[in-house]
Chains A and B, each alone.
Chain A
């Protein structure tokens, strides 16, 4: 950076005088007027003395007239003596003051030289520092810009994820709605089938009841037949008894025929045949009794088993159970369908709640936009600060600069008040910089006209 040598530039003194407030410089600043005052006083005194001398000389020449001429040179010498002595005395005093001033000036010159060197060094450092603020501010501004870009990118990802989540939920909801429809159709179909099955089973049960009744009638007929067959047993006893008596009678006839000799021989043969026939009759009756007894026992045994089987079948009531089971199944199915519908309704309500909550969450994401706008304002402020500091740097390097700025930080800061869009920005400004907001904060965040 180009800087002027401080020792030979008179304007530097003026710049240094403005920049420094030390006692030495104050002394230096008073010295020049003092010297000027002494010089002016000397000139005035000399001029007044000469004027007085002239006036005195003229007055004496007028008063004395021709008598003045012989003494004119003496009078002139006297007047000059009378004027010069006090003048010399006065100039002695002035000289002493001037010497003192010069001595002061030497001291102050030495001090000012040192001070100016110091000020110049500080000025150079300050100029460099102000100039170097540019990359610093640029970096900070870019950092903010990058942060905004990054946050925007991440927020976009969050919103996209929420969008995907919602799309999936919507798809699931559609599937569930489809399931509801299918479930209802299945329930109705099953209900119809079960009803049909129940009717079929009821018809089968009725038919079986009829068959059971017929079977019972058959059992009664068989039992009656068996009873009738059993009733034959006494008759067989009668036959046996008759056959036995016939046999005895035939034996007696044989004995009597033997006694009758040859006359009774033919009768003996008949008696023998009768006795033989009665024996066969007795044996046949015994066989018949035995078979009737066996048949009756067999019928009793079979009937007992058939009755037991019928009773067992009647007590099982399998068809009734089957219908009951089907009704139970239908009831369970209906219950489960209702439960499923309740679950689906809950899922649906949960979806609505999710939509509500996600809507709220997406509303909160608007903070990113609010923050972005505030940060963009800060970025603009950083650019202003950068430009102002660059301007300061250039002006400090300029020895002709009188200390005025186009804008001051105070003015730049105050100008921001007119550029804020949010009440929160104005509040923060006043909280830090002081002052009160004239903004109307009473109006609601949502206002319908």
Chain B
């Protein structure tokens, strides 16, 4: 059975390119365009094996979402990768503190992203 990944980004091009990349590499993909929409999906019963999220998004940003996801029952240890243009060290440290598994600065080649996902996702 294919591993499920939740992609959270407000850019439609990013969502589509990530969905295409991950699908052709054998993953099943769910999408959300901000942190709040992602949380709603998780609360509705969708249980991804990994989350890839942007940081700067309208309504609810990625860092706030990471903190809230970690507080949800059953999501304490799910790998969460941030994929963002944000390169400021303070933001990275905040992401790490809130429970992000890794910090990826855009642009990241699709095959590199898949390698990182396979690295942090056991059995992928």
Q: Which 3 A-B pairs have the closest CB atoms?
A: A359-B110, A366-B107, A363-B109
Using A363-B107, A370-B107, A421-B56 as known contacts, say yes or no to A159 and B16 having CB atoms under 8 A apart: yes
If the complex has contacts A159-B16, A373-B85, A423-B87, are A366 and B106 also in contact, measured as CB distance less than 8 A?
A: yes
Asked if A321 lies at the interface with its beta carbon under 8 angstroms from chain B, I say no
Closest B residue to A351 by beta carbon equals B24
Interface contacts beyond A364-B109, A445-B108: sample of 10 additional A-B pairs, CB < 8 Å, sorted by A: A356-B111, A359-B109, A359-B111, A360-B110, A363-B21, A369-B14, A421-B84, A439-B87, A446-B108, A449-B100
Bound complex: CA of A102 vs CA of B90, how far in Å?
A: 69
Contact of A152 with B87 in the complex, beta carbons under 8 Å = no
Contact present for B92 and A362 (CB under 8 Å): no
The answer to whether B109 touches A446 (Cβ under 8 A) is: no
How many positions in chain A have a CB within 8 Å of any CB in the partner chain? 37
CA distance A355 to B114 in the complex (A): 11
Tell me if B113 counts as interface (CB < 8 A to partner A). yes
User: Which B residues touch A286, using CB under 8 A?
Assistant: none
Are B104's CB and A152's CB within 8 A? no
Checking B16, B25, B106 against A156 with a beta-carbon cut-off of 8 angstroms, the contacting residue is B16
Min distance, Cβ A29 to any Cβ of chain B, angstroms: 51
Q: What residue in chain A is nearest B111 (Cβ atoms)?
A: A359
Contacts A155-B13, A356-B111, A445-B105 given: A362-B20 contact, CB under 8 Å?
A: yes
Chain A residues near B20: list those with CB within 8 A: 159, 162-163, 166, 362
Q: Given the known inter-chain contacts A372-B11, A421-B86, please indicate yes or no for A166 contacting B24, CB distance below 8 A.
A: yes
Q: Does A406 contact B (CB under 8 A)?
A: no
| Complex interface: chain A residues within 8 A of B103 (CB) | 446-447, 449
Q: Smallest CB-CB separation from A166: which chain B residue?
A: B24
B87 to A, closest residue via Cβ: A423
A410 within 8 A of B: no
Q: Which residue of A lies closest to B97 (CB)?
A: A449
- How far apart are the CA atoms of A330 and B109 in the complex, in Å? 48
Tell yes or no: B12 within 8 A of A by CB: yes
Which residues of chain A (327-376) have a CB below 8 Å from chain B?
Answer: 355-356, 358-370, 372-373
Q: Does B116 contact A (CB under 8 A)?
A: yes
| Interface presence of B120 (CB below 8 A) | yes
Instruction: Kindly state whether residue B119 has any CB partner on chain A within 8 Å.
Output: yes
A158 CB to nearest B CB, Å = 9
Knowing A368-B13, A446-B102 are in contact, say whether A363-B113 is a contact too (CB < 8 A). Answer: yes
Residues of A within 8 A of B106 (CB): 366, 369-370
Tell whether, in the assembled complex, residue B102 and residue A366 are in contact, meaning their CB atoms are under 8 Å apart: no
Q: Smallest distance from the beta carbon of B88 to chain A beta carbons, Å?
A: 7
Give residues 106-162 of A contacting B (CB, 8 Å): 152, 155-156, 159-160, 162
CB contacts (< 8 Å) of A367 on chain B: these are: 107
Q: Which residues of the partner chain B approach A368 to less than 8 Å between Cβ atoms?
A: 13
A361 to B110, CA, bound (A): 7
Q: How far, in whole Å, are A364 and B120 apart by their CA atoms in the complex?
A: 23
Please determine whether B13 and A446 come into contact, CB atoms closer than 8 angstroms: no
Q: Does A422 contact B (CB under 8 A)?
A: yes
**Cβ-based interface call for A443 (8 A):** yes
Asked if B89 and A439 make an inter-chain contact with CB atoms under 8 angstroms apart, the answer reads yes
CA distance A289 to B15 in the complex (A): 113
B88 lies within 8 A of A359 (CB): no
- The distance in angstroms between the C-alpha atoms of A440 and B112, with both chains bound, is 23
**In whole Å, how far is A49's beta carbon from the nearest beta carbon of chain B?**
78
The complex places the Cα of A170 from the Cα of B25 at a distance, in Å, of 11
